[in-house]
Structure 1
Amino acid sequence: MPRPTSYKVSLNLPFGLGGVEQTWEPNDDERRAAWELYVELVTRIASVPLAPGAGLQREALTSLYSLFPTTRDILRRYGPGVAQPKEDGQASFGLLAVTILNNALRPLLSVWHPRLQDHEDQRPATTTRVEWEASWSEVNGLRQAIDEVRTTINQYADLLADVAEVPNLHR
């Protein structure tokens, strides 16, 4: 079966920030970069929902934050060729990667990281981290925000799987 040369990009950004609707004709470096980032996305808590009462939301935020240096490393490794503007306003790996970082992850982390940190700083020594986080009045709002970002991350992962020509491993 011949390799697709063009992909429809349709990503809904969280928090009412709109979306991305473009076409992407990836080059070979973009396909390899897509595979690398796909593996990073689908092996993190960021792409798999936590059951209520399971795990810590702090771990989810930390996992999402770690996508910044990971994505930067991939972009540096593959160089400017994966970020070059394309004809007719088509997407590139670099454009999509930076859009996800700046318009999906950054809004979540800039709001919720300091709020959760403030709550964590008040934890009594006799209370576990799990108990303390579960008692936080804003934990459900944080869960909802993470779920909203997860939806975007999973749409992005689906696209990256298609571009890398691998089966969807995370659903």
Structure 2
Amino acid sequence: MISGAAVGMCVYAITRTGGTYLFAVTGGLAGALVAVGLDVYRRAARLTEVRVSVPQLSELTFVVNNEARQVAWQLFIESVTRVSVQRLQDDEGLLRETMSSLYGLFATTRETLKVSRPSTHVSAGLTVEALAVNFLNTELRPFLSKWHPRLRAFEDAHPGRSESEWPQASECRADLREVQEHALEYVLAFARLAGVRDAEAMLGTAAARPGGEGSPLLPSARE
């Protein structure tokens, strides 16, 4: 009530005054509104520098804002909820199912990049988009290009036979384990860029690492 009465008195005083004082008050209010608006915009567009380790590329510096964090979050969720990034033992799962999941991840990642706006705020450092494209071209594409035609050829030549009878199954699984290990690092990198806390706990990967240690690619961000 007191605050409302004070505001009412101020409004009444402003409407009753004129000349220089009126212009000064109006300008002050306009300046306050502009300051608030700029502060909101600055918070929404603020850039954060994040250092992560990427397979085959060592440690790199990425620059992200809120839009880039949203893209990284979408890529993290799309990746972490697929069987393709879960380690597949020799006596577990099906290669066809995992390969189809990898194809789905490739398509979803590409679609996410297509509908998102490219980063234009970066003058130094890399972007989330660059990390995602590298994930597709360096990890997923080579594996799928090599093994999908071979598995399909076996399936077409031996309909109804189990893929465990495929002579190249063990070699394919060995390559798959390497891809999955790298994919896990990319997933954690997306989580780091998105600002996700306890990403390894969400994945349940800490216990799977040697010694149960966490990922070395999760240092603190520098604003």
Task: Tell me how far 1:77 sits from its aligned partner.
Answer: 2.3
1:100 to 135, 145, 148: 135
Q: What is residue 51 of structure 1 aligned with on the other side?
A: 89
Asked if residue 153 in structure 1 is aligned to residue 183 in structure 2, the reply is yes
Q: What is residue 134 of structure 1 aligned with on the other side?
A: 164
TM-score by length of 2: 0.65
Contact 1:53 1:134 in 2 (8 A): no
Q: Letter of the aligned partner of 1:139 in structure 2?
A: A
Comparing both structures, which one devotes a greater share of its residues to helix?
A: 2
| Aligned equivalents of 1:20, 1:106: Cα separation in 2 | 20
Q: What is residue 76 of structure 1 aligned with on the other side?
A: 114
Q: What is residue 122 of structure 1 aligned with on the other side?
A: 157
Identity %, equivalent residues: 37
Q: Letter of the aligned partner of 1:102 in structure 2?
A: N
| Aligned equivalents of 2:92, 2:150: Cα separation in 1 | 20
Contact 1:46 1:150 in 2 (8 A): yes
* Residues matched between the structures, number: 156
Q: What is residue 123 of structure 2 aligned with on the other side?
A: 87
Contact 2:49 2:63 in 1 (8 A): yes
| Aligned equivalents of 1:95, 1:165: Cα separation in 2 | 18
Gaps of 5+ in 2: 1-45, 206-223
Contact 1:85 1:92 in 2 (8 A): no
Task: Tell me how far 1:8 sits from its aligned partner.
Answer: 1.3
Task: Tell me how far 1:165 sits from its aligned partner.
Answer: 2.1
RMSD, matched Cα: 2.0
| Aligned equivalents of 2:89, 2:47: Cα separation in 1 | 37
Change (3 A) 1:49 1:4: farther
| Aligned equivalents of 1:74, 1:102: Cα separation in 2 | 15
Q: Letter of the aligned partner of 1:106 in structure 2?
A: R
Change (3 A) 1:4 1:80: closer
Q: Letter of the aligned partner of 2:85 in structure 1?
A: S
After superposition, the C-alpha distances for 1:100-156 in whole angstroms (9 at most, x for unaligned) are 10111000000000011111112244x4xxxx2111111111111111111111111
> What's the secondary structure of 1:87's corresponding residue?
coil
Q: Letter of the aligned partner of 1:158 in structure 2?
A: L
Task: Tell me how far 1:5 sits from its aligned partner.
Answer: 2.2
Asked if residue 9 in structure 1 is aligned to residue 52 in structure 2, the reply is yes
Contact 2:88 2:177 in 1 (8 A): no
Task: Tell me how far 1:20 sits from its aligned partner.
Answer: 4.9
TM-score by length of 1: 0.83
Task: Tell me how far 1:40 sits from its aligned partner.
Answer: 0.9
> What's the secondary structure of 1:62's corresponding residue?
helix
Q: What is residue 28 of structure 1 aligned with on the other side?
A: 66
Q: What is residue 30 of structure 2 aligned with on the other side?
A: none
After superposition, the C-alpha distances for 1:40-74 in whole angstroms (9 at most, x for unaligned) are 11111111112322221111111111122211221
Gaps of 5+ in 1: 13-17
Change (3 A) 1:4 1:159: farther
